[in-house]
Homo-oligomer: A and B are copies of this chain.
Amino acid sequence: MNSIKVFAPASVSNVACGFDVLGYPMDDVGDQLIIKKTPVKDLVITAIHGDNQLSRYKNENVVTIAVQALLDHLDSPPDFGFGFELTKKVKPGSGLGSSASSSVAGVFGVNELLGRPYNKEKLVEFAMEGERASSGVAHADNVAPSMLGGFVLVRSYTPLDLIQLDYPKDLFTTVVHPQIEVKTSEAKKMLKKQIDLKDAITQWGNVAGLVSGLAKADYGLISRSLKDVVAEPVRSMLIPYLAQAKQIAMDCGALGCSISGSGPSIFALCRGKEIADKTARAFKALYDQQNIDSNVYVSSVNTKGAEVLE
């Protein structure tokens, strides 16, 4: 196999109460990456479609940074190189794990071309190096869902412990991405290093409730648990019309609605596609009214994660 085309999904991280530990990937929305073996032992980004601001320098693009982390881990590196043609559907700064999609696509595809020396769990660690380069912190709450599929819990970072949660398969997500950029690193800076113990207790009560609700398919419990008292109150000022979007989503029958990652995208989690579609139309109308361009996506929770397309 000399070339491969792979897909790595965009993802919703935090999921309201699961700050830095929870995420799930979307269908169709994400990065496509064509990888070709090349005779020269080098990593070369030959083209980037869908974004004209990303660097093609191998030390500046997360695809090649993550792939290099994989190659550095091999006992005997290959005697050939790789060329990458990246097609991005979600731009950086969306809160949808754009950089994670690229990192995951890179390491997943190269791993396939090398005959799968690593399993997906191990690949997450290499993809995290892309996150470190992108945001300064090697977080996993986008790369792990994008790689593995499904609701993923990052139980621990040291050591990395990724848990694929049980969840009902009729969950859909609606995401609206208002076309304003929020830098993850800036959004992270807004959070204080300490939080009130009482807020922490509220948050872990909700995380526990969400995990239990997902496992039991208890939609009421899922809905009651989808609350964020830690990041959302701080970051909400960065997201235009968040309060209105939340109200609209709940009026449409969504289970919950909050900021995706560090924003500005907003996600709603819904039972069934009908409610998700209704929420999507309402989101679009909200931002149209305010003359803010927006992209709206409806998706089931992607069960496969990173996959080979061709």
A residues neighboring B (CB under 8 Å)? 17-22, 153-156, 161, 163, 165-166, 191-198, 200-212, 215-216, 221, 224-225, 230
Q: How far is the CA of A98 from the CA of B154 in the complex (A)?
A: 36
CB distance from A107 to the nearest CB of B (A): 23
Give 6 closest A-B pairs by Cβ, nearest first: A155-B209, A204-B204, A215-B215, A200-B200, A194-B194, A21-B205
Known A208-B208, A209-B163; judge A191-B197 contact (CB<8 A).
Answer: yes
Q: Which chain B residues lie closer than 8 Å to A195 at the CB level?
A: 194-195, 197, 200
Q: How far is the CA of A154 from the CA of B205 in the complex (A)?
A: 7
Q: Which chain B residues lie closer than 8 Å to A192 at the CB level?
A: 197
Contact call B193/A193, Cβ cutoff below 8 A: no
Q: Which of B19, B155, B205, B221 contacts A221 (CB 8 A)?
A: B155
Most buried by B among A196, A209, A210: A209
13 contacts between A and B (CB under 8 A): A19-B201, A21-B204, A153-B205, A153-B208, A155-B221, A155-B225, A163-B209, A166-B212, A203-B204, A204-B207, A208-B211, A211-B212, A215-B215
Known A155-B221, A203-B200; judge A208-B21 contact (CB<8 A).
Answer: yes
Q: How far is the CA of A22 from the CA of B201 in the complex (A)?
A: 11
Contact call A216/B166, Cβ cutoff below 8 A: yes
Contact call B156/A202, Cβ cutoff below 8 A: yes
Contact call A197/B208, Cβ cutoff below 8 A: no
Count of chain copies: 2
Contact call A208/B166, Cβ cutoff below 8 A: no
Contact call B206/A156, Cβ cutoff below 8 A: yes
CB distance from A283 to the nearest CB of B (A): 27
Q: Which chain B residues lie closer than 8 Å to A205 at the CB level?
A: 20-21, 153-156
Q: Which chain B residues lie closer than 8 Å to A19 at the CB level?
A: 201, 204
Q: Which chain B residues lie closer than 8 Å to A17 at the CB level?
A: 204
Known A156-B224, A203-B200; judge A208-B161 contact (CB<8 A).
Answer: no
Q: Which chain B residues lie closer than 8 Å to A198 at the CB level?
A: 193
Contact call A193/B196, Cβ cutoff below 8 A: yes
Q: How far is the CA of A38 from the CA of B207 in the complex (A)?
A: 47
Q: Which of B156, B203, B212 contacts A153 (CB 8 A)?
A: B212
Q: Which chain B residues lie closer than 8 Å to A20 at the CB level?
A: 201, 205
Q: How far is the CA of A165 from the CA of B22 in the complex (A)?
A: 20
Q: How far is the CA of A116 from the CA of B56 in the complex (A)?
A: 72
Q: Which of B22, B193, B211 contacts A211 (CB 8 A)?
A: B211
Q: How far is the CA of A203 from the CA of B202 in the complex (A)?
A: 12
CB distance from A172 to the nearest CB of B (A): 22
CB distance from A299 to the nearest CB of B (A): 23
CB closest chain-B residue, reference A22:
B208
Contact call B204/A163, Cβ cutoff below 8 A: no
Q: Which chain B residues lie closer than 8 Å to A194 at the CB level?
A: 194-197
Q: How far is the CA of A18 from the CA of B138 in the complex (A)?
A: 26
Contact call B208/A18, Cβ cutoff below 8 A: yes
